């Protein structure tokens, strides 16, 4: 496949269209398109494992920390995530460690153990008991 990538990229430089290159090398047009896009972006067709998308500490996580600090819980709260790769990236782990944020050890894809689900259920029960008739009432009940 590496030779096909190099040949595809070379054929595109010669001015041939995606369909022509696709037929010539017997690969799908989508493959040709992705190879050429990769070449235009990175100036290579080699495997770029881990490049191009650098995980960032999300603004949401930073806001959670700010909220905890406003509530006076700066170091008394524990952050819980679902072990998604973007949450377990080195840059995120480093940020969490630098900010001294406790992170719970959590099995991947484990909604049964998610305590927030209990809170959502309780909120739903209480809202339904008060039967809001419009969006404004719903908002006030949820805040209450």
Does residue 86 lie within any of the structural domains?
yes
% helix, strand, coil for the chain, step of 5: 60, 5, 40
**What does pTM read for this prediction?**
0.37
Does 23 or 109 have the greater pLDDT score?
23
Both 135 and 122 in one domain: the answer is yes
pLDDT at 27: 82
Q: Any residues with CB less than 8 A from the CB of 104 and at least 6 apart, and which?
A: 78, 79, 80
Both 84 and 67 in one domain: the answer is yes
Domain range for 7 is 2-42
pLDDT at 55: 56
d(CA 125, CA 11): 63
Does residue 123 lie within any of the structural domains?
yes
| Closest-CA residue to 34 (of 53, 51, 47) | 47
CB 75, CB 97: distance < 8 Å: no
| Closest-CA residue to 79 (of 91, 97, 53) | 97
pLDDT at 113: 64
CB 79, CB 103: distance < 8 Å: yes
pLDDT at 72: 77
Does residue 27 lie within any of the structural domains?
yes
Both 99 and 64 in one domain: the answer is yes
Each residue's pLDDT tens digit, 104-133: 777 766 656 667 777 788 888 888 899 888
pLDDT at 111: 59
Each residue's pLDDT tens digit, 38-60: 777 777 777 666 555 555 666 66
The mean pLDDT value of the chain amounts to 76
Each residue's pLDDT tens digit, 66-115: 887 787 776 677 777 777 777 778 888 888 888 787 887 777 666 566 67
Both 82 and 99 in one domain: the answer is yes
As a whole number, mean pLDDT of residues 6-21 equals: 76
Per-residue confidence band for 34, with pLDDT thresholds at 50, 70 and 90? confident
Does residue 53 lie within any of the structural domains?
no
Structurally, how many domains does the chain consist of? Answer: 3
d(CA 99, CA 91): 12
Both 122 and 98 in one domain: the answer is no
């Amino acid at each position: 496949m590496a030779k096909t990538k190099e040949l595809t990229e070379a054929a595109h430089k010669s001015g041939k269209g995606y369909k022509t290159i696709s037929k010539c090398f017997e690969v799908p047009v989508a493959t040709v398109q992705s190879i050429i896009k990769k070449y235009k972006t990175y100036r290579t067709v080699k495997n770029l494992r881990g490049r191009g998308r650098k995980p960032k500490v999300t603004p949401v996580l930073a806001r959670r920390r700010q909220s905890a600090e406003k509530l006076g819980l700066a170091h008394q709260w524990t952050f819980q995530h679902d072990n998604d790769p973007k949450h377990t990236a080195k840059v995120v782990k480093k940020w969490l460690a630098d900010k001294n944020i406790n992170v719970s050890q959590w099995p991947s894809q484990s909604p049964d153990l998610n305590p927030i689900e209990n809170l959502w259920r309780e909120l739903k029960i209480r809202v339904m008991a008060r039967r809001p008739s419009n969006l404004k009432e719903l908002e006030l009940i949820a805040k209450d």
